[in-house]
């Protein structure tokens, strides 16, 4: 048994060795298995972490974008509300700016006008300081000559222009300047022309025509010549004729002394009614009024035609008694009157004094510039 044990004991180690080998082999295999399972778990964890991180990042990005959209919406709403609030303010500001610019422009224009007035006043003060009594007299003479020319054309009369020109001559006599001799010579020539020009009394003609128109009522209308019934006692003195033939011849001779035959060169016109006479007289007044208008308008043809027609109507429709004869004489006299006022040319004196004043001012300006230099 001991041998058996001895024989068996050596086998124990082998078994033990085997067992040890098993035991040795197992530890070598378990770490490998454990390491492979750990890697897979770590990989899963890593993937999960990556997924979680990605999801978290995506969520964060989405939330960030949503916040941006919300913020942008809020900003747009705020901008819209601000624009609605700012638009009236902007309009008020624009209106205020426009009013302010208009006010500034108005003030600038007023300032410019004041500056111009100051410049004009300064220039006038400088001119007044350099103006002498002769300059004032020349200015007055120039004004009177211009007024005389204007009166001559508007009034169509030489009376007032002549008085004005004589006043100009009196003014120029007060200026002791030899250079005025040509001006005074031209002025004297114009004054002579005014004095030699005939004056037409248009007012007198107008009034005389008015008087003739008032005297028309005194005219007597022309009637048919009525044979006056004369009762005559015809006494036939019949002497004892010797024959019947002598008796007939004597009777015819005595009857021939009673009957008168008149041959008219013009046709006999019928009698005029009272209404027709009034119309004729009214037409005569209108003719004379037309002649008055022609006198004031200086229309000689209309004047003479109106008077000729009036004269012809007086002769044709009215009896040529003393009143008619007076009216016809006045019409004939008025036809020979001139109604056009002849006006002389007095522009020579105006041009002469204007030239003299211009030369005088040029000399004064040149003298002032020389003194300033």
Q: What is the pLDDT of residues 249-303, one digit of tens each?
A: 766 666 666 555 554 455 555 566 777 888 888 999 999 999 999 988 888 899 9
Any residues with CB less than 8 A from the CB of 326 and at least 6 apart, and which? 215
Structure confidence at residue 365 (pLDDT): 73
Q: Is 234:254 a contact under the CB 8 Å cutoff?
A: yes
CA distance 360 to 134: 10
Structure confidence at residue 1 (pLDDT): 39
Q: What is the pLDDT of residues 18-61, one digit of tens each?
A: 444 444 444 444 444 445 556 778 888 888 888 888 888 888 88
Mean pLDDT of 177-198: 89
Mean pLDDT of 230-240: 45
Partners of residue 184 on adjacent β-strands? none
pLDDT at 219 over 90: no
| Angle, vertex CA 110, rays to CA 105 and CA 114, nearest 5 | 145
Partners of residue 318 on adjacent β-strands? 221
Mean pLDDT of 342-346: 85
The residue with greater pLDDT, 288 or 90, is: 288
The radius of gyration computed from the CA coordinates of the chain, to the nearest angstrom, equals: 70
- In the numeric block, the tokens 């082999």 are attached to 25
Residue 200 φ/ψ region, left for φ over 0, alpha for ψ in the -120 to 50 degree band, beta for the rest: beta
Any residues with CB less than 8 A from the CB of 325 and at least 6 apart, and which? none
CA distance 130 to 365: 10
Structure confidence at residue 49 (pLDDT): 85
pLDDT at 236 over 70: no
Structure confidence at residue 126 (pLDDT): 62
- In the numeric block, the tokens 């990989």 are attached to 43
Q: What is the pLDDT of residues 108-127, one digit of tens each?
A: 899 988 988 888 777 666 65
CA distance 364 to 275: 80
**Mean per-residue pLDDT over the chain, rounded:** 77
Q: Is 200:303 a contact under the CB 8 Å cutoff?
A: no
Q: Is 221:319 a contact under the CB 8 Å cutoff?
A: yes
Both tokens of 267, joined, read 């046709």
pLDDT at 135 over 50: yes
CA distance 10 to 16: 10
Q: Is the dihedral of CA 235, 241, 246, 247 positive or negative?
A: positive
Structure confidence at residue 26 (pLDDT): 46
CA distance 337 to 307: 11
The residue with greater pLDDT, 101 or 200, is: 101
Q: What is the pLDDT of residues 291-335, one digit of tens each?
A: 999 988 888 899 999 999 999 998 888 888 888 888 899 998 898
Whole-model pTM over 0.75: no
The CA-to-CA distance between both ends of the chain, in Å, stands at: 168
Tell me the pLDDT band of 370, cut-offs 50, 70 and 90: low
Residue 302 exposure: Cα atoms within 13 Å on the Cβ side = 15
User: 3-class DSSP state for residue 221?
Assistant: strand
Structure confidence at residue 66 (pLDDT): 86
| Helix 202-214 with 322-335: angle, nearest 10 deg | 160
Structure confidence at residue 255 (pLDDT): 61
Burial tier of 147 (Cβ tally within 10 Å: 0-12, 13-18, 19+): middle
Structure confidence at residue 131 (pLDDT): 61
Structure confidence at residue 28 (pLDDT): 44
Residue 156 φ/ψ region, left for φ over 0, alpha for ψ in the -120 to 50 degree band, beta for the rest: left
Indicate the domain borders of the chain.
Answer: 41-130, 132-197+356-372, 200-224+271-340
Mean pLDDT of 60-85: 81
Q: Is 141:353 a contact under the CB 8 Å cutoff?
A: yes
Question: In the chain, which ranges are continuous DSSP H helix?
Answer: 2-130, 133-155, 159-173, 181-196, 202-214, 244-256, 274-297, 300-317, 322-335, 347-372
CA distance 145 to 163: 11
Mean pLDDT of 140-154: 91
The residue with greater pLDDT, 32 or 197, is: 197
CA distance 215 to 198: 30
């Amino acid at each position: 048994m001991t041998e058996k044990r001895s024989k068996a004991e050596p086998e124990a180690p082998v078994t033990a060795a085997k067992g040890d080998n098993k035991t040795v082999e197992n530890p070598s295999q378990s770490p490998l298995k454990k390491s492979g399972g750990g890697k897979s778990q770590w990989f899963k964890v890593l993937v999960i972490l990556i997924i979680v991180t990605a999801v978290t990042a995506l969520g964060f990005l989405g939330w960030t974008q949503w916040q941006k959209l919300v913020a942008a919406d809020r900003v747009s709403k705020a901008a819209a509300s601000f624009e609605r609030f700012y638009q009236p303010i902007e309009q008020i500001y624009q209106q205020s700016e426009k009013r302010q610019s208009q006010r500034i422009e108005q003030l600038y224009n007023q300032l410019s006008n004041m500056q111009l007035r100051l410049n004009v006043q300064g220039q006038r003060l400088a001119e007044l300081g350099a103006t002498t009594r002769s300059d004032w007299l020349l200015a007055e003479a120039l004004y009177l000559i211009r007024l005389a020319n204007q009166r001559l054309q508007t009034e169509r009369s030489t009376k007032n222009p002549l008085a004005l020109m004589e006043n100009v001559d009196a003014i120029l006599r007060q200026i002791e300047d030899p250079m005025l001799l040509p001006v005074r010579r031209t002025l004297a020539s114009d004054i002579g022309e005014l004095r030699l020009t005939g004056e037409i009394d248009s007012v007198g003609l107008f009034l005389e025509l008015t008087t003739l128109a008032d005297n028309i009522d005194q005219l007597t209308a022309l009637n048919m010549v009525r044979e006056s019934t004369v009762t005559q006692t015809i006494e036939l003195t019949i002497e004892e004729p010797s024959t019947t033939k002598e008796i007939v011849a004597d009777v015819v001779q005595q009857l021939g002394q009673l009957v008168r035959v008149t041959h008219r060169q013009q046709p006999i016109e019928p009698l005029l009614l009272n209404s027709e006479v009034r119309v004729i007289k009214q037409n005569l007044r209108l003719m004379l009024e037309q002649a008055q208008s022609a006198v004031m308008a200086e229309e000689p043809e209309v004047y003479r035609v109106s008077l000729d027609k009036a004269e012809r109507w007086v002769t044709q429709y009215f009896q040529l008694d003393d009143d008619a004869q007076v009216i016809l004489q006045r019409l004939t006299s008025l036809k020979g009157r001139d109604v056009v006022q002849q006006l002389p040319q007095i522009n020579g004196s105006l041009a002469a004094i204007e030239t003299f004043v211009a030369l005088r001012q040029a000399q004064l300006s040149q003298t002032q510039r020389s003194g300033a230099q």
